[in-house]
Amino acid sequence: MARHSPSSLLTWLLFLLHGQFPPANQPYRTSYHFQPLQNWMNDPNGPMIYKGIYHLFYQYNPYGAVWSANIVWAHSTSTDLINWIPHSHAIYPSQPSDINGCWSGSATILPGGEPLILYTGINQKNQEVQNLAMPKNLSDPYLVEWTKSAKNPLMAPDNTDNINASSFRDPTTAWLGPDGKWRVIIGSEIGSSGMAVLYWSKDFIQWTKAQHSLHSAEDTGMWECPDFYPVSGTGADGLDTSTIGPGVKHVLKVSLFDTKHDHYIVGTYDIVKDVFIPDKGSEEYKSWLRYDYGKYYASKTFFDGAKNRRVLWAWINESTDATIDVKKGWSGIQGIPRQIWLDRSGKQLVQWPVEEIEKLRMNQVDLPGRLLKGGSMVEVSGVTAAQADVEIEFEIPELEKADFLDPNWSDPQAICRQKGAPVRGGFGPFGLLVLASKDLQEHTSVFFRVFRHHDKNKFAVLMCSDQSRSSLLLDYDKTTFGAFVDVDPTREKLSLRSLIDHSIVESFGAGGKACISARVYPSLAVDGNAHLYAFNNGTQSVRVSKLRAWSMKKAQINYANERANY
């Protein structure tokens, strides 16, 4: 019998079954970022749309707020990617091939519309193997119940391929080649070389390992959560994962276990040789770009055929330690889903929060354009500063007095750490002070600096997210993040958008060319005591051509929406 949106009573029973209870006095829980009621959450798994319903599965520990081997696939659904209904766990240990945990994987929609999930299981020998799960009832758009193949595991490392059985995980969404065979890649490593192990199948059951990887790179370590998908060279529309042809490029994304960063490479998929060829200039690891230069890991995309877009999800972990996480009873959130596409230059991706997030906006505040003199700031009043969406644009009419960029400065994060918001330059720092206390004892700074190359006709734009003064609390990581932004400040305005949600600040520079996500835990700038400012701490004036902000309504996510209907 098809099972649809669960009743409030059933939801409460599920919470009780899994040891979940409503949290109280939790100033750092988010209001519109996805997170379960409590306990540990990490990687997004198998995101997809089926019969008009969005599905998000995720790695979840039902028994506590820290990671453990008892990982299951938790499951929630939505009609808008913002408000979510919880369901019972979709995949949990039940077979010899996953008895020690059900790890990350992906969903693939077959040509007839049937969704299948490939995921990593830990077997009774603590080896990583790949398994298949399918819906029990295809007429149920909520896909509440899943069953596993009796032939699991479908893929396992053998003794001849030099792959360690503990380094073989996280299958991608599969794609269909012109020869009628399915392809999928598995993250792995041999020695210090990371790789995307390639498999073929005609029926999605019998899989054969290719003699070569789709791609590999020396000295990159273990590749987790690989992702491989096509992008259009002519616009922002997304493409089905199996799309190939003229005007189509491909993106290979890997989550590097050693650095805990997600890197991507733009290139070409050679369908004859079944290999990925990075574009010139991006062959070396040091030239790979990142989705996000802050906290952002284990990301996963899917093609949203309903709106013809590719949507990106990612896990954003805490900056607190395990002791604090256990005390507050939860750990981990998901970033706001982002639409992702290839920039007009063809060299990088652009990301932007999905348009549905704008439904939560209320109480719009507009500040008139103004000149921000060096050393000045202006408060953005009338918004709930702890739960806001703010957009600002800067114009710099004349850049002759920009500081020179030291040719030895190649690491943007190191520059941001050395030249934080209090360090005055010519043009910059200028941007936003978010989650700020009234006396500015606490504030997180998201800002730009503009540098001039020794060739006076060229400029470099640095974007920073400085957490060094974000809290009077001492027991959490306050790393400062940074990225160079590919934008010409002589021709374009410098735009910045920040989504502020109690303990997270997701920022998008230059329309999404550079993104930085940060976790912060203020002790003073909490709820109604948080303030928002535009500031310029450079010596030169900059013009604010646009400043628009909104308070954000609370999304109905899992427990919250069901409790309201109880």
Cα angle vertex 209, ends 101, 57, to 5°? 35
Q: What does the block give as tokens for 481?
A: 């993040």
Arithmetic mean of pLDDT over the chain:
92
DSSP letters for 472-518: S--SB----EEEEE---TTTS-EEEEEEEESSEEEEEETTTTEEEEE
> Is 14 a residue whose pLDDT tops 90?
no
Q: Is the dihedral of CA 404, 546, 534, 501 positive or negative?
A: negative
Four-CA torsion 452, 489, 283, 170, nearest 10 degrees: 130
CA distance 506 to 516: 6
Calculated CA dihedral for residues 91, 95, 100, 106, nearest 10 degrees: -40
Q: Output the pLDDT for position 69.
A: 86
**Amino acid 456: pLDDT:** 67
pLDDT per residue as tens digits for the range 25-80: 789 999 999 999 999 999 999 999 999 999 999 999 999 999 998 899 999 999 99
Match 């395990």 to its residue by tokens. Answer: 322
Say what the pLDDT of residue 521 is: 96
Nearest to 207 by CA among 294, 270, 132: 132
> What mean pLDDT do residues 297-306 have?
98
Look up residue 34 and give its two tokens.
């996805």
* pLDDT tens, residue by residue, 189-223: 999 999 999 999 999 999 999 999 999 999 999 99
Q: Residues 289, 291, 297, 300: what is their CA dihedral angle, to the nearest 10 degrees?
A: -110
pLDDT of residue 517: 98
Give residues with Cβ within 8 angstroms of 244, minimum separation 6.
178, 230, 269, 271
DSSP classification of residue 3: -
Query: Active-site residues: which are they?
Result: 43
Distance CA 482, CA 469 (A): 16
Residue by residue, what is the 3-state secondary structure of 264-277? EEEEEEECCCCEEE
Residues whose CB falls within 8 Å of the CB of residue 110, separated by 6 or more in sequence, listed in order: 116, 204
Which domains, and CATH codes, for the chain?
8-353 (2.115.10.20), 360-552 (2.60.120.560)
3-state helix, strand, coil in the chain (%, to 5): 5, 45, 50
- What's the pTM value of the predicted model, to 2 decimals? 0.93
